[in-house]
Structure 1
């Protein structure tokens, strides 16, 4: 997105009285004010991973029911370490073509660690047990993305996930969960975070996705994995001198946002149902599996993005941005995130905003 377009979009969102998808952008000073309100800034900062970092790691391990958890500055780094840990013998990992590792990490798994990807399925979902059993070569790790973002934020059922994880163990592989959005996966799966993480040998979580942290991630699993992860975090350049602002924002997210996630997921289903009634609209998945889902409308992306900005600037209502053209001519798609700002929206509010947006597209 061009710099001037991004700044205009941010300014429009900040000025809106109501936001359906996403959160109002905040300034750096506002973020610092938030931190001072939730953290004891008179405590000493961390030094190369102690203090508040250690406290956060233990909290994550407790949440996920694992022996340990290790803080990472980025999820990409955390996942490289997780895949390397299970690939010493085979050098191969089972990855979906739409996985974060293949789509968004510039092939770091192969370039940095020399790993080879084996594809269990091309379907727009995580692999199922039969597909894992049918793999034609040995893999060290089978990766499940919960939810699979680039397939439309889709999740397996609990039985499908359990059976697939059991089959991964049967073929002698580790199970790794790309759980960047695991926080909002629990309601659909119908299990606690600890029960979900129990199915895997390692689980990565993000603190800025869903929880609203500044940045950062954690890799959770056994004590042996944690020792390995700390060594490789250092080798990857991830043992930063101080990281307390990101750590404190992660703690704030666990305190403030995590308890509200089930409300976001429930409300996303109401919002999606209202949006599906708009002329020519399609929601996927229907109903949403998490608090994020895709909306398709019968207009080009450029027209929709312009209409969203106009609606925001004229009526102080933010609908949803980031529209992209699809393979179907004249149809565009946006990813919606239903969070705190959207909880006050009724189905009638959603329908009214959608109708006004479509009028601007004519």
Structure 2
């Protein structure tokens, strides 16, 4: 493993190569300069002569109205981060149900990436319906050995490969939670792109839950920020806690502008990204086999969203460096960073297909994989 200085230098080299590349499946947020980001904000679909926001009015209130409309809920509240939004949602449900226990997957975001905040900050406790690397089943939810006040479902489950249940499975999961007298909360950071897999519009999906969290930067390309959506009474309660948690920010118009731009520009494109991801995944499986890689896995075989995992039997640094050389030498970025995955000797990465990847063909994928494998 590289030391800190070497890793910093490699990150700078990676970003420079990604930025200079003419061919890529997506663009990393690291690539944009301050000037470029400001220029994109100025092009956002909003009246630039309107007043800025003060403590959540104006453009922030307009964003909240737009999210509630898209999800078919009575109200929505803007939050500076998804971590804050979800902790507050779960805290509010614990107060309403009288039960501080939250049932969720151990690979979900609150368990892996929030510093034990559910217990440390909010005094909540968790139980796991399953530890398998998949969505839980209704039977597992029903078999949890103690009462729980809230069932949280991450849609899609990112760490397991951006996995979604089927529509029938999701409805059964919700019903299983309700039979346990639990509130249902959707961790929908990437819910926006789930409509293709479910074959249902956003209001029908969100309508299964008592509350829904959505992100503005993970799929929509915003600067940051999130929203909680649900009944008017519940959302008003979350606004009270937002202030207590320090989330009542004086001005947030840059985040709101970028979020509105994402809803206007990226949201309609997400179905095409999902379709393209499925083509890329199929061509990638064929290309890896043709290149003679001893073992590989594209997971899931048919992506549920426009993001999916790739597993290869090499050390992560070796694969990251191969992708870096490919970008520098050919001007094409296919794989980016790799991480350790599972047993020693295996590495995993995520592929994300957005607007730059729509022009790729199966032949392009085969050529890119061949060039990458030649540099391992």
Q: CA deviation at 1:227?
A: 1.0
Q: In structure 1, what is the equivalent of residue 88 of structure 2?
A: 81
Matched, 1:193 2:199: no
Question: Residues 327 and 118 from structure 1, CA distance in 2 versus in 1: closer, same or farther, beyond 3 angstroms?
Answer: closer
Matches within 5 A, 1:44-59: 44-59=51-66
Counterpart among 225, 229, 235 of residue 220 in structure 1: 229
- The answer to whether the 8 Å contact 1:176/1:202 transfers is yes
Matched, 1:293 2:299: no
- The answer to whether the 8 Å contact 2:26/2:355 transfers is no
- The answer to whether the 8 Å contact 1:211/1:257 transfers is yes
- The answer to whether the 8 Å contact 1:87/1:139 transfers is no
Deviates more, 1:301-310 or 1:120-129: 120-129
TM-score (norm 2): 0.94
Number of equivalences: 361
Classify the secondary structure of the residue corresponding to 1:114: coil
1:57-85 Cα distance to aligned partner (Å, 9 max, x none) = 01000000000000000000000011011
Cα RMSD (Å) of the superposition? 1.2
Deviates more, 1:265-274 or 1:21-30: 21-30
- The answer to whether the 8 Å contact 1:23/1:341 transfers is no
Q: In structure 2, what is the equivalent of residue 206 of structure 1?
A: 215
Q: CA deviation at 1:218?
A: 0.1
Classify the secondary structure of the residue corresponding to 2:348: strand
- The answer to whether the 8 Å contact 2:60/2:253 transfers is yes
Classify the secondary structure of the residue corresponding to 1:343: helix
Task: Give the Cα–Cα distance (whole angstroms) in 2 for the partners of residues 3 and 43 of structure 1.
Answer: 42
Q: In structure 2, what is the equivalent of residue 60 of structure 1?
A: 67
User: Tell me, which stretches of 5 or more residues in structure 2 are unaligned?
Assistant: none
Q: CA deviation at 1:199?
A: 0.4
Task: Give the Cα–Cα distance (whole angstroms) in 1 for the partners of residues 363 and 51 of structure 2.
Answer: 50
Q: In structure 2, what is the equivalent of residue 93 of structure 1?
A: 102
Q: CA deviation at 1:299?
A: 2.3
Counterpart among 32, 39, 43 of residue 37 in structure 1: 43
Counterpart among 93, 103, 126 of residue 135 in structure 2: 126
Matched, 1:160 2:165: no
Task: Give the Cα–Cα distance (whole angstroms) in 1 for the partners of residues 47 and 13 of structure 2.
Answer: 35
Task: Give the Cα–Cα distance (whole angstroms) in 2 for the partners of residues 10 and 173 of structure 1.
Answer: 45
Counterpart among 334, 349, 353 of residue 319 in structure 1: 334
Task: Give the Cα–Cα distance (whole angstroms) in 1 for the partners of residues 137 and 70 of structure 2.
Answer: 27
Q: CA deviation at 1:330?
A: 3.1
1:98-157 Cα distance to aligned partner (Å, 9 max, x none) = 110000000111111100001111122222211111122111100000000011110000
Counterpart among 148, 151, 156 of residue 147 in structure 1: 156
Task: Give the Cα–Cα distance (whole angstroms) in 1 for the partners of residues 301 and 262 of structure 2.
Answer: 28
Task: Give the Cα–Cα distance (whole angstroms) in 1 for the partners of residues 14 and 326 of structure 2.
Answer: 11
Q: CA deviation at 1:326?
A: 2.3
Task: Give the Cα–Cα distance (whole angstroms) in 2 for the partners of residues 328 and 271 of structure 1.
Answer: 26
- The answer to whether the 8 Å contact 1:22/1:338 transfers is no
Matched, 1:178 2:193: no
Matched, 1:17 2:22: yes
User: Tell me, which stretches of 5 or more residues in structure 1 are unaligned?
Assistant: none
Q: CA deviation at 1:325?
A: 2.4
Q: In structure 1, what is the equivalent of residue 361 of structure 2?
A: 346
- The answer to whether the 8 Å contact 2:220/2:267 transfers is yes
Classify the secondary structure of the residue corresponding to 1:205: strand
Q: In structure 2, what is the equivalent of residue 113 of structure 1?
A: 122
- The answer to whether the 8 Å contact 1:68/1:221 transfers is yes
